[in-house]
A and B are shown apart, each in its own frame.
Chain A
């Protein structure tokens, strides 16, 4: 797999909008590993969008090497058939006063297999680290599988770390309520799924552009 390195610009103690990027993986694209060095005071905000028809196996490595840096890492996926998506993240807090927030969320239908393996390492001395990780998933079929494996290795004592994972299904009650108002079943599903993804969508630099592509993707798998 081709490697891909993004160097995060350093700007001393000034807070800079160092890196804000959305990667969209469409069918035919090849997944690339991402490595980030988060230097002092940097702000990094990365979103990875994995659309239906994409199988991907990739790792995101983040190294905090300077104090006062923050990272937001979002993964959004929509799988509708037999995709295999495996995302690993390794976030290393080597220095104090850094924050990392990871959210991995998506929709798994068909016979897709999705796994999220998030490792957070807080080195000795990396005090005042805040590291969060959550995984929220909706399963659209019995044959789809989602697994979340968080791994926390914490060697400092003054830190805030948490992780959580949920895997639910569409709410029958919500679907019936919407249908009883004349919203067709497939549209009701689309509405519910979009609203499920909306917390992550809303935080994107250009939510509308990504939202319309995701909405089309969701519509295509719901109507299958």
Chain B
């Protein structure tokens, strides 16, 4: 049997001394897509920040295993090298750093960690062009400062572009679909579906069923007040859609 790609056990996490996650258990097998839904302030972004290793978040109890490794012992960059990718709910602006040099540094850092030579300039540019075309990002974005002056939708598209560049094993999409027009939503869905493989998984945090129409989730979780209160299949999305979160 396939063992878990990700195994979260009894996870408690706090930020600024305040406990937000009160015991999360979650197992994801290779190839699975999990949706996480829940009301505002439930702790969804906190969970994704903890998975990506945001230093301000402290895990007070519990464990996380990723591909059999102790994820909590790894730095954010090590997690990225191991194949974790977080699409930020609110992508960060990096003034003075172009998308090209940002991605080049990112890709070559991973290669260095794997003992590989930096990617040749021409190969890197080819990869950039290919992935930018895939997310329908205009070529002039390559020179722009990361997320600076981007519209909300452009920022999300840039997240999916980075995801496509880094080819992660576990993609965590934190409300990547919020604020997107229909076309952009389809691009996000295509981005996730393109990465689908028997060995890769995704966690999709969303408030809407729309994205889940394009990316069929295997498992749906309801996260409420720092706990997973319900786990099931696609039918949960319909319950939320008609009855909200009160019934959970």
0 or 1 for each of A88-105: is its CB under 8 Å from B? (1 = yes): 000000000000000000
Bound complex: CA A187 to CA B77 (Å): 11
Stretch at the interface among A63-71, A131-139, A169-177: A169-177
| A181 contacts B by Cβ under 8 Å | yes
Given contacts A172-B55, A176-B55, A177-B88, contact A184 B95 (CB under 8 A): no
Residues of A within 8 A of B91 (CB): 177
Q: A residues 181-214 with Cβ under 8 Å of B?
A: 181-185, 187, 191-192, 194-196, 198
| B198 contacts A by Cβ under 8 Å | no
Contact with B52, one of A180, A191, A192, A194 (Cβ below 8 angstroms): A180
Instruction: Tell me how far the C-beta of B171 lies from the nearest C-beta in chain A, rounded to whole angstroms.
Output: 12
Instruction: Tell me how far the C-beta of B157 lies from the nearest C-beta in chain A, rounded to whole angstroms.
Output: 16
Residues of A within 8 A of B76 (CB): 176, 179-180
| B209 contacts A by Cβ under 8 Å | no
Once the chains bind, are A179 and B75 in contact (CB under 8 Å)? yes
Instruction: Tell me how far the C-beta of A105 lies from the nearest C-beta in chain B, rounded to whole angstroms.
Output: 13
Bound complex: CA A20 to CA B109 (Å): 38
Instruction: Tell me how far the C-beta of A108 lies from the nearest C-beta in chain B, rounded to whole angstroms.
Output: 19
Residues of A within 8 A of B166 (CB): 181-182
Instruction: Tell me how far the C-beta of B160 lies from the nearest C-beta in chain A, rounded to whole angstroms.
Output: 13
Residues of A within 8 A of B17 (CB): none
Most chain B beta carbons < 10 A, residue from A172, A177, A187, A198: A177
Q: B residues 45-68 with Cβ under 8 Å of A?
A: 52-56
Residues of A within 8 A of B86 (CB): 180
Residues of B within 8 A of A171 (CB): 92
| B110 contacts A by Cβ under 8 Å | yes
Once the chains bind, are B92 and A177 in contact (CB under 8 Å)? yes
Once the chains bind, are B81 and A195 in contact (CB under 8 Å)? no
0 or 1 for each of A13-56: is its CB under 8 Å from B? (1 = yes): 00000000000000000000000000000000000000000000
Instruction: Tell me how far the C-beta of A184 lies from the nearest C-beta in chain B, rounded to whole angstroms.
Output: 5
Given contacts A180-B76, A183-B77, contact A198 B106 (CB under 8 A): no
Bound complex: CA A163 to CA B109 (Å): 40
Instruction: Tell me how far the C-beta of A196 lies from the nearest C-beta in chain B, rounded to whole angstroms.
Output: 7
Once the chains bind, are A184 and B109 in contact (CB under 8 Å)? yes
What residue of chain A has the Cβ atom nearest to residue B111's Cβ? A182
Given contacts A176-B54, A180-B80, A180-B86, contact A187 B95 (CB under 8 A): no
Residues of B within 8 A of A222 (CB): none
What residue of chain B has the Cβ atom nearest to residue A197's Cβ? B96
| B162 contacts A by Cβ under 8 Å | yes
| A58 contacts B by Cβ under 8 Å | no
Residues of B within 8 A of A182 (CB): 77, 80-81, 106-107, 109-110, 113, 166
Residues of B within 8 A of A165 (CB): none
| A167 contacts B by Cβ under 8 Å | no
Instruction: Tell me how far the C-beta of A88 lies from the nearest C-beta in chain B, rounded to whole angstroms.
Output: 29
Residues of A within 8 A of B95 (CB): 195
Bound complex: CA A191 to CA B52 (Å): 20
Bound complex: CA A192 to CA B102 (Å): 11
Instruction: Tell me how far the C-beta of A155 lies from the nearest C-beta in chain B, rounded to whole angstroms.
Output: 38
| B42 contacts A by Cβ under 8 Å | no
Instruction: Tell me how far the C-beta of A23 lies from the nearest C-beta in chain B, rounded to whole angstroms.
Output: 24
Q: List 13 A-B contacts (CB under 8 A).
A: A176-B54, A178-B106, A179-B53, A180-B77, A180-B79, A181-B80, A181-B162, A182-B110, A183-B106, A183-B109, A192-B96, A195-B94, A195-B96
Known: A180-B76, A180-B88, A181-B162. 8 other contacts (CB 8 A): A173-B92, A176-B52, A176-B54, A177-B92, A178-B102, A182-B81, A183-B77, A195-B96
> Interface on A for B, CB 8 Å cutoff?
171-174, 176-185, 187, 191-192, 194-196, 198
